[in-house]
């Protein structure tokens, strides 16, 4: 496993992050404690050190499982979690959203479940549509001063909200917004028009989720598997519902065959070529082992061009900006 600096921080994180939305069975679809333990330990043995969770994942079970797994080795990992949605079904309106009250209640609950005294990266999970950026920024600053979080981040925020929050933090000398997290894959490339160039210009670390399009890019749904397409009510899933998406998957499968690797490894390797840390979310040890094989996959310029071409953005979308994989100034290179 290689490591890369997270944005302008001195934090060195592994080139692939482990998302733990499948740790637990509170949603009716996930991995039990034993399977979660096997996934976590194998990721750690492979050199992974970047763990991402959220209070809402499996209604708190993900954080609880991680809290037990981290005992005795907490300092070996960068631990990130999120707030906004609450840790129980139908959480009260006062403990959901991005208000200061919800922020404080959420961080205290996460700290207890994670059995730790601080969170390394604390994300606002998504905008709530009402809380001003000033309140979010000030809340992060208060938590940092109290020693409960080390870094702040914004997940699933549009580029304009992200830019405003980063600027406010700079102007008020609050704890900086260190990173941005958003969906990105061969079947969801819209962030390349705004979120990637905005994050790069602002010096943010970039973490991208669902590099497999909810599993679609593995090709397994062509074989009749259901997985996330039904297991989570179809949420966080990109269906093969267009000619372009069929062509994308065909290209992924063809390149995988040429290289003698699996389709998921090709898709993750492509996502990792954009200067981001792609986050995987395996539900089994078999899936994790396959996903981590992406570390050894080197896509040629011709293969990258082929995948870029077949998955190109809608011509009506904003013009795509140059991405950091070109090696131009500002790109994030792996470090030892």
The catalytic residue positions are 57
Residue of 218, 222, 239 lying closest to 283 (CA atoms): 218
Tokens of 257: 């065959």
SS3 182: strand
* 42 contacts: CB under 8 Å, gap ≥ 6: 285, 288, 289, 292
SS3 150: strand
Tokens of 21: 């939305």
Tokens of 302: 């011709």
188: β partners: 185
Helix axes 100-114, 133-145, angle to 10 degrees: 40
| CA dist., res. 296 & res. 123, Å (int) | 30
Tokens of 178: 């260190």
CA dihedral 38, 42, 45, 48 (to 10 degrees): -120
| CA dist., res. 235 & res. 219, Å (int) | 18
Alpha helices per DSSP H over the chain? 33-45, 61-69, 100-114, 133-145, 159-171, 195-202, 227-231, 243-259, 263-272, 285-292, 301-310
Within a 10 A sphere around the Cβ of 108, how many other Cβ atoms?
A: 11
> What spatial distance separates the first Cα and last Cα of the chain, rounded to whole Å?
10
């Amino acid at each position: 496993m290689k490591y890369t600096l997270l944005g302008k921080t001195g934090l060195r994180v592994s080139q692939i992050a482990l998302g733990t939305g499948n740790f637990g069975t509170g949603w009716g679809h996930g991995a039990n404690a034993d399977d979660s333990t096997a996934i976590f330990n194998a990721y750690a043995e492979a050199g992974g050190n970047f763990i991402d969770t959220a209070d809402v994942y499996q209604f708190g079970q993900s954080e609880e499982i991680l809290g037990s797994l981290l005992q005795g080795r907490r300092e070996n990992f960068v631990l990130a979690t999120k707030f906004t949605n609450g840790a129980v079904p139908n959480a009260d309106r006062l403990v959901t959203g991005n208000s200061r009250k919800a922020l404080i209640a959420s961080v205290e609950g996460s700290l207890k479940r994670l059995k730790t005294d601080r969170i390394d990266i604390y994300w606002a999970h998504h905008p709530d549509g009402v809380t001003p950026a000033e309140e979010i920024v000030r809340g992060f600053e208060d938590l940092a001063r109290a020693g409960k979080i080390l870094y702040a981040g914004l997940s699933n925020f549009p580029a304009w909200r992200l830019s405003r929050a980063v600027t406010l933090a700079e102007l008020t000398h609050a704890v900086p917004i260190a990173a941005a997290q958003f969906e990105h894959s061969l079947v969801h490339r819209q962030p390349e028009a705004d979120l990637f160039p905005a994050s790069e210009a602002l010096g943010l670390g970039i973490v991208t989720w669902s590099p497999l399009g909810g599993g679609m890019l593995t090709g397994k749904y062509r074989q009749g598997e259901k997985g996330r397409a039904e297991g989570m009510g179809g949420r966080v899933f990109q269906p093969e519902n267009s000619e372009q998406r069929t062509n994308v998957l065909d290209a992924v499968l063809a390149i995988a065959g040429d290289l003698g690797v699996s389709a998921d490894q090709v898709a993750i390797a492509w996502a990792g070529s954009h200067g981001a840390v792609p986050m995987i979310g395996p539900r089994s040890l078999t899936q994790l082992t396959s996903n981590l094989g992406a570390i050894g996959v080197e896509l040629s310029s011709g293969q990258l061009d082929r995948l870029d071409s077949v998955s190109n953005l809608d011509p009506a979308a904003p013009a795509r900006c140059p991405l950091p994989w070109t090696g131009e100034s500002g790109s994030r290179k792996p470090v030892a």
